[in-house]
């Protein structure tokens, strides 16, 4: 029976059961949840970007007035001048939004949700209900964070790391009042969301793989999402603890982080015995894995997109998985490199330095493997492919500067300078957002059954790519000249005068890059409704998601039985095949299971898989009335 016929039958039975609310709002279908994550992420991303443009205006033209600032910010932008307190607020919320809401939830939430069940061959996540909760906690968190921007005393403004005592004392700066309380509430809701999602991703990858989908046949996307979820599960609870202690210090008079403080206008405080450095340890115990929580899904997406569009197997599959594992493991024991100059014991500093620089080895392996995958490939430049290559470029240029910053000695000078800003915006900001764009362009047909416009995609890529380098490359030199970050303006220091022009260039490039995102928004939203209908497997990809019908939305993904997996996901351009791809789900008539005997052996036993999926399917039928 053809897919369409099967679907028609399915529709006839069950269409009436889905109301608008259960289909679009409180949906438990992983595909719908991924769209919810994506669109919320895009909206948050736009807000975060506009914030960055506002403070870039201030940095480029500190003496000029912009009526738009007064229009948008009201009392924080009287006479078109950005208020210094609100500048700090913008910097803080920009960082928070980008790190957590766009690049953690928007990226990992979207693609883990979309791809894990589809690529491992599952009907849905292990717990669709928890998955739904995960999105709605994220949604609430986003709402609380956005509300915090509008409160009278301004949003949290101690930087996205919100170090106490600055963030703990509401008299230390206006943003540490209600704004900070709401920030903490938002982050705690976010952590709940992230944990609910992470548990689901892990259990789905481990338990719900279809017949023949052994771990060593998993696409690298799934490996990346899996490690990401493990990192999140182990590190987010620590941030929860840090946040709770901070709430206690702020509201209940405890002294976890506070000691020996005299505050202007208040006097000596009662708190003694706490340590602000304790917070930094707790924060960065999450904060550093968080960097990889952001980057690893992007790397996974890139592996898949590059291999598919180079029509060539990913080079060194095993090495890619091992390097991901290495990065994931090391990311837990390097947090101290954010704290070299906090007065930490110098010996501890050198331990963290050694561990940190080891990360460069698996990262180098990844970069070289990407480049080798391109070598002698047949590169099809879809926008997704371009964004993936852009990611590799950023990953290299941003990653190399990590070798400077991970070195405790060099960090003395570079800590908190613009060099750091350049480093992390390239390696984790731009690289991860490019991974997200690559994912969107690649799997848009999978999500909406339509294609996005390629030409607009090309312009989107090249403008964004060039502008991102124009924005962040000069910042390295500013940092090396000793320009500190998070300064409201530089005109009060004569030495920084030489950077006036550079700041203007950066701001103009940022505005152009921002405008280029309008192309993307237009392309994205118009293509949802007007895009060309996509064929079943538009990119000629090997992975399972393209075997599930894309022209209809089916809760349960496959109309009939679950597909069976016969080989690894990267069998592109096999010499013995006419076509340049060989999907995982297509049986090999000529010589089944001969080419990869090793992998076939480790496939799970047939009976076990059948049982698992049928029990699961029965559960789904019960919950959704699909049976």
Partner 1 sequence: MTITLNRVLRNSLSKKVLTAFSLILAPVFAMAADVVEPPQEFNPSAWDWSTLLTLALMLLVILVIARAFDIGSLTEKISGKRLVSPHKINGWVAIIFLVLGLIGVWYEMVYHGKYVLLNDAASEHGAVYDSMFMWTFGFTFVVFIITEVLLFYFMFRYSYDENRKALYYFHNNKLEVIWTVVPAIVLTFLVLRGFNTWSKITSADNEDAQEIEVFAYQFGWKARYAGADNKFGDNSFTFISGSNPLGLAVEGSVDELSQSLTDEIAGLEALIASADDSAAVWSARLKNFEAQGRQRAYPEEYKKIREMAMDAESGAYVRGLEKEIKRKSTNIKRIAKFRADQNMFNKAAYDDKVVTEIVLVKNQPYVFKFRARDVIHSAYMPEFRAQMNCVPGMSTQFAFTPIKTTDEARAEKGNPEYDYFLYCNKICGAAHYNMKIKITVVENQAQYETWLAQQAPVVAPVEAPAVEADPATDTTSQATPSVALN
Mark residues 556-585: x for contact with partner 1 by CB under 8 A, - for none: --------------x-xxxx----x-----
CA distance 39 to 23: 16
The residue (of 18 and 580) whose beta carbon lies closer to partner 1 is: 580
Q: Is 357 in the site for partner 1 (CB under 8 A)?
A: yes
Of 380, 588, 600, 612, the residue at the interface with partner 1 (CB under 8 A) is 380
Mark residues 432-461: x for contact with partner 1 by CB under 8 A, - for none: ---------------------xxxx-xx--
Q: Is 64 in the site for partner 1 (CB under 8 A)?
A: yes
Structure token pair of residue 232: 């999140």
Q: Is 384 in the site for partner 1 (CB under 8 A)?
A: no
Residue with tokens 């929860």, as numbered in its chain: 240
Exposure letters 222-250 (e unless 16+ CB within 10 A, then b): bbbbbbbbbbbbebbebbbebbebbbebb
The residue (of 428 and 516) whose beta carbon lies closer to partner 1 is: 516
Of 416, 593, 610, 612, the residue at the interface with partner 1 (CB under 8 A) is 416
Closest distance to partner 1 from the beta carbon of 466 (Å): 6
Collapsed DSSP state (helix, strand, coil) of residue 48: helix
Q: Is 392 in the site for partner 1 (CB under 8 A)?
A: yes
CA distance 583 to 572: 9
Q: Is 353 in the site for partner 1 (CB under 8 A)?
A: yes
In the beta sheet, which residues pair with residue 262? 268
Of 109, 121, 165, 556, the residue at the interface with partner 1 (CB under 8 A) is 165
At residue 377, what are phi and psi to the nearest 5 degrees?
Answer: -90, -175
Collapsed DSSP state (helix, strand, coil) of residue 304: helix
- Name which of residues 598 to 617 contact partner 1 (CB under 8 A): none
Size of the site for partner 1 (CB under 8 A): 139
Residue 25's contacts (CB-CB under 8 Å, 6 or more residues apart) are: none
- Name which of residues 250 to 289 contact partner 1 (CB under 8 A): 258-265, 267-270, 272, 274-277
CA distance 213 to 476: 45
Exposure letters 121-136 (e unless 16+ CB within 10 A, then b): bbbbbbbbebbbbbbb
Q: Where are the alpha helices (DSSP H) in 310-359?
A: 317-330, 346-358
Listed ranges 22-30, 285-293, 512-520, 551-559: which one lies at the site for partner 1 (CB under 8 A): 512-520
Of 4, 24, 251, 462, the residue at the interface with partner 1 (CB under 8 A) is 462
Q: Is 85 in the site for partner 1 (CB under 8 A)?
A: yes
Identify the helix (H) or strand (E) that includes residue 95: helix 84-96
Listed ranges 2-10, 117-125, 442-450, 510-518: which one lies at the site for partner 1 (CB under 8 A): 510-518
Closest distance to partner 1 from the beta carbon of 331 (Å): 17
Q: Is 379 in the site for partner 1 (CB under 8 A)?
A: yes
Q: Is 525 in the site for partner 1 (CB under 8 A)?
A: no
CA distance 140 to 193: 10
Whole-angstrom CA distances from 147 to 142, 156, 604 are 9, 11, 49
Pairing of strands 262-263, 267-268: antiparallel
Listed ranges 36-44, 180-188, 228-236, 309-317: which one lies at the site for partner 1 (CB under 8 A): 309-317
Collapsed DSSP state (helix, strand, coil) of residue 484: strand
Closest distance to partner 1 from the beta carbon of 18 (Å): 32
Structure token pair of residue 496: 């920084």
Q: Is 358 in the site for partner 1 (CB under 8 A)?
A: yes
Closest distance to partner 1 from the beta carbon of 137 (Å): 29
What DSSP state is assigned to residue 483? P
Q: Is 511 in the site for partner 1 (CB under 8 A)?
A: yes
Mark residues 113-152: x for contact with partner 1 by CB under 8 A, - for none: ----------------------------------------
The residue (of 23 and 486) whose beta carbon lies closer to partner 1 is: 486
């Amino acid at each position: 029976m053809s897919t369409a016929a099967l679907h028609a039958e399915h529709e006839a039975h069950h269409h009436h059961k889905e109301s608008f609310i259960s289909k679009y709002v409180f949906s438990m279908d992983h595909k719908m949840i991924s769209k919810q994550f994506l669109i919320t992420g895009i909206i948050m991303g736009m807000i975060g970007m506009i914030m960055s443009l506002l403070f870039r205006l201030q940095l480029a033209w500190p003496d000029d007035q912009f009526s738009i600032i007064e229009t948008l910010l009201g009392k924080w932008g009287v006479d078109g001048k950005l208020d210094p307190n609100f500048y700090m607020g913008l910097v803080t919320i920009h960082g928070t939004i980008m790190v957590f809401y766009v690049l953690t939830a928007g990226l990992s939430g979207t693609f883990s949700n979309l791809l894990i069940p589809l690529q491992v061959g599952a009907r849905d996540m292990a717990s669709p209900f928890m998955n739904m909760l995960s999105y709605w906690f994220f949604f609430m968190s986003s709402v609380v964070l956005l509300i915090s921007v509008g409160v009278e005393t301004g949003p949290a403004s101690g930087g996205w790391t919100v170090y106490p005592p600055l963030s703990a004392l509401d008299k230390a700066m206006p943003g540490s009042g209600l704004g900070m309380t709401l920030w903490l509430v938002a982050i705690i809701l976010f952590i709940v969301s992230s944990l609910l999602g992470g548990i689901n991703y892990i259990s789905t990858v481990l338990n719900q793989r279809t017949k023949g989908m052994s771990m060593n046949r998993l696409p690298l996307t799934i490996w990346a999402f899996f490690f990401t979820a493990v990192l999140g599960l182990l590190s987010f609870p620590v941030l929860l603890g840090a946040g709770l202690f901070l709430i206690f210090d702020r509201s209940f008079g405890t002294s976890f982080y506070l000691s020996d403080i005299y505050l202007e206008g208040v006097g000596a405080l009662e708190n003694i015995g706490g340590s602000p450095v304790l917070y930094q340890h707790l924060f960065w115990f999450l904060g550093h894995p968080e960097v990889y929580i952001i980057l690893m899904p992007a790397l996974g997406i890139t592996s898949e997109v590059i291999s598919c569009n180079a029509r060539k197997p990913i080079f060194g599959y095993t090495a890619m998985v091992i390097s991901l594992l290495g990065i994931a493991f090391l990311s837990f024991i390097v947090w101290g490199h954010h704290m070299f100059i906090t007065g930490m014991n110098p010996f501890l500093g050198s331990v963290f330095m050694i561990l940190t620089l080891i990360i460069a080895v698996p990262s180098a392996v990844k970069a070289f493997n990407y480049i080798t995958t391109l070598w002698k490939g047949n590169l099809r430049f879809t926008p997704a492919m371009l964004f993936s290559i852009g990611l590799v470029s950023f990953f290299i240029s941003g990653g190399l500067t990590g070798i400077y910053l991970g070195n405790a000695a060099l960090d003395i000078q570079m800590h908190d300078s613009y060099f750091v800003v350049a480093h992390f915006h390239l390696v984790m900001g731009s690289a991860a957002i490019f991974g997200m764009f690559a994912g969107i362009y690649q799997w848009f047909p999978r999500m909406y059954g339509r294609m996005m416009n390629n030409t607009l995609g090309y312009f989107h890529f090249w403008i964004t790519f060039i502008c991102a380098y124009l924005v962040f490359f000069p910042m390295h030199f500013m940092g090396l000249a000793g320009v500190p970050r998070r300064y409201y303006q530089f005109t009060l220091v004569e030495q920084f005068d030489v950077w006036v022009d550079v700041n203007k260039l950066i701001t103009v490039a940022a505005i152009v890059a921002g405008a280029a995102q309008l192309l993307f928004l237009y392309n994205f939203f118009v293509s949802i409704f007007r895009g060309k209908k996509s064929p079943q497997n538009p990119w000629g990809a090997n992975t399972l998601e393209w075997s599930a019908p894309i022209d209809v939305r089916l809760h349960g993904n496959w109309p009939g039985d679950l597909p069976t997996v016969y080989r690894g996901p990267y069998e592109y351009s096999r010499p013995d095949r006419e076509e340049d791809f060989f999907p995982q789900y297509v049986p090999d008539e000529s010589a089944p299971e001969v080419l990869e005997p090793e992998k076939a052996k480790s496939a799970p036993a047939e009976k076990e898989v059948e049982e698992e999926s049928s029990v699961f399917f029965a559960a789904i039928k019960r919950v959704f009335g699909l049976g």
